[in-house]
A and B are shown apart, each in its own frame.
Chain A
Amino acid sequence: MGLYTGSASYVRYKVEGELHGSLKETGLLRLKECSFRELDELSGRDRTIGWVSVENMASIFFDDLHFAKDPYIAVSLRIDTRRIPPLTLKAALLREEMSYKKHTNKERLSRKEKDTLKEQVKNRLMKKALPIPVLYDVCWNTATGILLFFSTNKKANAEFMDFFLSTFELTLTPLFPYELAQMVGAGKKGKIRLENAVSPFADNSWSKIKAIM
């Protein structure tokens, strides 16, 4: 979060390459193709990921081009997940096993029976579990090729990179220290020789300080 309100936490990326065709038309097409779909529409799945409006997380309407804020493209990535708390599953499974044993007059269940019961219980509970949505804002400056992803969570960033690639067919380079060094050096046209960038504060021991003094 943080594109519109509150404090902002983000990771910077360099978008490698450009969208083919008109930014608005191609952007719209790709966003619509990979827009968010509710879990209820996707039977048998416990997770869904897709683009939603940055102004309304329930909206996947992009036709008015509100995502294109020249020179930016601003959207949100929504990921919904259904989860069953482990103890809830355990309790329901034990209850189901007891009931099964009673009905079949068995004292012990085979591995296969246990697995089948577990799958049935899991499916039943999954239908009852409410999806938990997570939302990440994304802002791409198409003039500079720099993109901000508004989360510093490593897993979320990895998932975002993959989904961005599958949507726009463009790769992202995270601007970590080494990559940023290359970028700022190239921007200044005076290439910095990173191999000369010795660790400047590598030895701050008192013996060295005294030797220098």
Chain B
Amino acid sequence: MSADTVKQNNQLGRDFITYLCYKSDENEGLFEIAGAKRLHLWVGDKVILADDNTPPNSIIYSGEYFTGADLKQAIRSGKRVSEAQFKIETDETAGTFMIRGDRFDIVNLRIHSSDSGADDSEAQFYSRMHGMEQINSILDELYYQFLRDISGQSWEHEGYKKFQIWLNEKAA
């Protein structure tokens, strides 16, 4: 596949979010990023999956009552996650946000850091920007891991097989 095709298909975003949902479930929310930093990332209360048809067939799961099995069933039917809410927790910060696969829009990001209640507007500004940049930086790091995984030679023989085992395993 040429780089232009990758760009035109614009599917990297959806694949990335699908990958995050898969890895989060497989590793019970635990991720490690550069510098041996650990963080937790869980799927939140809303997930939208869509297939490649025009117009796409999509399915929305929201609220507390959908399960990993629901997601897997939709993925098995050829859909991928087009947007999802995640809950994130690091040593310094915690928050929730939606990410959209097509353009990587960040939607409704709420940060709960220790100094997010600062009175001074200047302090509040720096605290919020620090939180947002931290979350952006974590997402960039996870995106790099994803790209490295799927562009490596081992994906087809190992990575994809593991993914399919995960997809099949808990559906039983």
The 0/1 profile, CB within 8 Å of A marked 1, for residues 44-56 of chain B is 0000000000000
Residues in A neighbouring B6, C-beta threshold 8 A: 178, 194-195, 197
Cα A187 to Cα B18 in complex, Å, equals 24
Interface residues in A, total, Cβ within 8 A: 48
Cα A180 to Cα B16 in complex, Å, equals 12
Interface of B (DSSP majority class): helix
**How many A-B Cβ pairs are below 8 Å?**
154
**By the criterion CB–CB under 8 Å, are A212 and B3 in contact?**
no
**By the criterion CB–CB under 8 Å, are A11 and B2 in contact?**
no
The 0/1 profile, CB within 8 Å of B marked 1, for residues 198-213 of chain A is 1111001110110011
Tell me how far the C-beta of A197 lies from the nearest C-beta in chain B, rounded to whole angstroms: 5
In A168-212, the 8 Å CB interface with B consists of 174-178, 180-181, 183-185, 187-188, 190, 192-201, 204-206, 208-209, 212
Cα A148 to Cα B80 in complex, Å, equals 27
Say if the beta carbon of A8 comes within 8 Å of chain B.
yes
Shortest 9 CB-CB contacts between residues of A and residues of B: A177-B13, A177-B12, A196-B151, A152-B105, A178-B7, A200-B150, A7-B108, A184-B144, A8-B109
Q: Please report B residues at the A interface, Cβ cutoff 8 Å.
A: 1-3, 5-7, 9-13, 15-16, 18-19, 75-78, 80, 100-111, 121-122, 124-126, 128-129, 132-133, 136, 140-141, 143-144, 147-152, 155-156, 159-161, 163-165, 167-168
